[in-house]
Amino acid sequence: MANIIRNCEENKLKIFKGFHKDHSEYEYLQVDQNIEFMKDRKRIIGICLKNFFQKNELLSYYAEDAIKKYLTKNKINFMNTGLFFEARDESKSISFDIDSQRPDFLINSKNFGSTFLDVKARRSLKKKLKDLEIDYFYLNEDEILSLKTVQDKMAIPVWLIIKDINDFDEEAKKYRHQKFYFTTLSAIYNYYSILKRKFTKHKMNVFSYRIPISILYETNSLDKIEFQKTLPGKLIDNMVELTKLAILEAEEIIKNYIREEKVFKSYLAHNLVFGSKEHSKFGSALPNFSVQDINSILWNLIDRGVVKYEKEKFLTLAKEK
């Protein structure tokens, strides 16, 4: 069995053959600036990958670590059930795959019994809608549905804990405060279902859902949890309008990208979400959208004749070459 070691502070991943302790006396053979082989006296026994994790992944690991320390300090019995990697077997005879969408902890509390906790690191965002300012986080549809499947199959409630990335201290490599946002998956799924019906009615294909902070509980203790919040009808309408505005803004960025730079359809969404400013002015221009969202918006523009798409050719705008 492979031994995998993660180092968040140095952003490294080490993979060893079999079970090995991470000793500094291993000889490191540099392949390039981000890859090193590790060798003992006889053979190569592992590989070290530098700058391996994306920033949002690292922030999630620190969020999970903060909750783990909270559980330990408060003597709440728990098991780590989440993993920081996915695994897929390509052999035809084996289908034992490891999915990333699983809760991070299974806890056993004297107040609530057995419960799954899924920890998210998300940046709180603020958007003005008429005379209102709405604070919200993003959750993807796949995340919600995967956790709902776990809750239904295991008959164990799932709770969501969200740590605000804005509270993360880059220098100290930790969150400044113990506080977190909390809600039940059932509450999120109810909100998602209502919003999904509204989006369908308006013929909007949405994958990333804005979760208003007003429906979450801000707390620093799992002992101080309430379950009394409701969903005002006006809030749902506001979130629909907010999503419409966000889609219109994304359309303008997509059109500007196509107008100012040469880009293939297959690269556009990934560049807008994860791309670097070094390679494109529009790199990470839409970091709070999912790739699915942007592809959906792009296809809508293509279907409406706003964007022209031909296989193996750069995207163009109608009446613009």
CA distances from 88 to 85, 94, 264 (A): 10, 10, 29
pLDDT of residue 151: 95
Residue 148 pLDDT grade (very low, low, confident, very high; cuts 50, 70, 90): very high
Does the structure show a pLDDT above 90 at 98? no
Does the structure show a pLDDT above 70 at 321? no
CA distances from 125 to 2, 122, 252, 280 (A): 40, 9, 20, 24
* Coil vs helix vs strand at 142: helix
d(CA 236, CA 70): 33
The residue whose two tokens read 């056993």 is 108
Does the structure show a pLDDT above 90 at 260? yes
pLDDT of residue 99: 59
For range 75-104, the mean pLDDT: 73
Spatial strand order in the sheet of 132-140: 125-129, 132-140, 208-212
Could you tell me the fold of the domain covering 55-230? Answer: Trna Endonuclease; Chain: A, domain 1 (3.40.1350)
Buried b (16+ CB within 10 A) or exposed e, 257-271: bbeeeebebeebbeb
Could you tell me the fold of the domain covering 244-317? Answer: Arc Repressor Mutant, subunit A (1.10.10)
Does the structure show a pLDDT above 70 at 23? no
d(CA 133, CA 118): 28
Least confident range from 17-26, 64-73, 139-148, 252-261: namely: 17-26
**pTM, to two decimals:** 0.83
For range 23-38, the mean pLDDT: 84
Does the structure show a pLDDT above 80 at 97? no
For range 33-58, the mean pLDDT: 89
Q: Where are the CATH 1.10.10 domain residues in the chain? A: 244-317
Does the structure show a pLDDT above 90 at 28? no
Does the structure show a pLDDT above 70 at 320? no
d(CA 138, CA 209): 6
319 vs 192, more confident = 192
- CB under 8 Å to 190, separation ≥6 — which residues? 231
For range 287-315, the mean pLDDT: 94
* Average pLDDT, rounded, for the chain: 88
Q: Where are the CATH 3.40.1350 domain residues in the chain? A: 55-230
For range 188-208, the mean pLDDT: 92
Give pLDDT tens digits for 104-145: 999 998 878 899 999 999 999 999 888 889 999 999 999 999
Least confident range from 75-89, 156-170, 175-189, 247-261: namely: 75-89
* Coil vs helix vs strand at 46: strand
d(CA 118, CA 238): 27
For range 72-99, the mean pLDDT: 74
